[in-house]
């Protein structure tokens, strides 16, 4: 059985096939702003994205992912907490079954309805797959989505969802500028962490934007029309929240009676 988000294959079970799940720099985490230390040496992020590197949009069975050509430096991240140049490989989202949960990171316990991840790899390595397991291999920019006005830039993606409803479906997605999904202010929190899904490599410099972007409740509902399941199988709506606290409650709480 492959990994997923159900009780029988979800985050609490991942350790059985991916022992690094018990590692020391696992993501996501709860970010407690008052406990973060101010680092005057941190530079502003320098993100440059070329819309012509945008290739396609894919339902990979655990998220919706937009993939970029990464054979040149045209779409890249520099500065911020990282050194060197990291190329954009893909972005994807995590969301919940309802608007009260869905983000992976939380801010002082607050869950957002969704979280966008822009995944970049360090060009000191030869490729994404080589970088993915290295301690300084990846830099992921996380952006929270909160409920607010309809987001026209997000809508361009959502309009493609009917075509990629089930697992394995893919369609071309040309000329999309991912910087249109970034908040106006690029202030961030950063820490050394991991991939939040298998293979859970401890290879990610996390850069989590403090300012969320907005999506309407109707737009959030559109995410939940995507399916984990392939065509022909029983439809199974995709919701990819780890819901960390609930997982922990399930596994750690004991009762003195049944």
For the annotated catalytic residues, the residue numbers are 62
Q: Which residue is nearest to Zn ion (CB)?
A: 117
Residues 43-62 that bind ligand B30 (CB under 6 A): 60, 62
Q: Does 117 bind Zn ion (CB under 5 A)?
A: yes
* Interaction pattern, residues 141-180, with Zn ion; x per rule: CB under 5 A: ----------------------------------------
Phi, psi of 162 (to 5 degrees): -60, -30
What is the contact mask toward ligand B30 in residues 103 to 142, using x (rule: CB under 6 A)?
--------------x-x------------x-------x--
Give dist(CA 242, CA 223) in Å, integer: 16
Tokens found for residue 35: 């406990």
The residue assigned the tokens 């937009």 is 66
Residue 59 interacts with which of ligand B30, Zn ion, none, CB < 5 to 8 Å by class: none
Q: Strands (DSSP E) along the chain, which ranges?
A: 30-31, 45-48, 54-59, 64-68, 76-79, 86-95, 106-107, 114-122, 138-147, 170-172, 188-193, 204-209, 213-215
**Part in contact with ligand B30 (CB under 6 A); list of ranges 7-15, 105-113, 190-198, 245-253:** 190-198
Nearer to ligand B30, 107 or 216 (CB): 107
């Amino acid at each position: 059985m492959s990994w997923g988000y159900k009780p029988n294959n979800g985050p609490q079970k991942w350790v059985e096939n991916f022992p690094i799940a018990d590692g020391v720099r696992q993501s996501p985490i709860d970010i407690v702003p008052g406990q973060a230390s101010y680092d005057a040496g941190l530079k502003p992020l320098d993100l440059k994205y070329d819309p012509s590197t945008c290739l396609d949009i894919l339902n990979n069975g655990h998220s919706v992912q937009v993939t970029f050509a990464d054979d040149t430096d045209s779409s890249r991240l520099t500065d911020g907490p990282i050194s060197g140049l990291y190329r954009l490989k893909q972005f994807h989202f995590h969301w919940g079954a309802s608007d009260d949960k869905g983000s992976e990171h939380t801010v002082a316990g607050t869950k957002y309805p969704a979280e966008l991840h822009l995944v970049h790899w360090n060009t000191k390595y030869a490729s994404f797959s080589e970088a993915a397991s290295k301690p300084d291999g990846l830099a992921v920019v996380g952006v929270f989505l909160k409920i607010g006005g309809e987001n026209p830039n997000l809508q361009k993606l959502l309009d493609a969802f009917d075509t990629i409803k089930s697992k394995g479906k893919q369609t071309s997605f040309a000329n999309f500028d991912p910087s249109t999904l970034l908040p106006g202010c690029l202030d961030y929190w950063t820490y050394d962490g991991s991939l939040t899904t298998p293979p859970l490599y401890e290879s990610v410099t996390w850069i989590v934007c403090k300012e969320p972007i907005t999506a309407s409740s109707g737009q959030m509902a559109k995410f939940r029309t995507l399916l984990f399941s392939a065509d022909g199988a029983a439809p199974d709506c995709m919701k990819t929240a780890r819901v960390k606290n609930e997982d922990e409650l399930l596994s750690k709480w004991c009762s003195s009676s049944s």
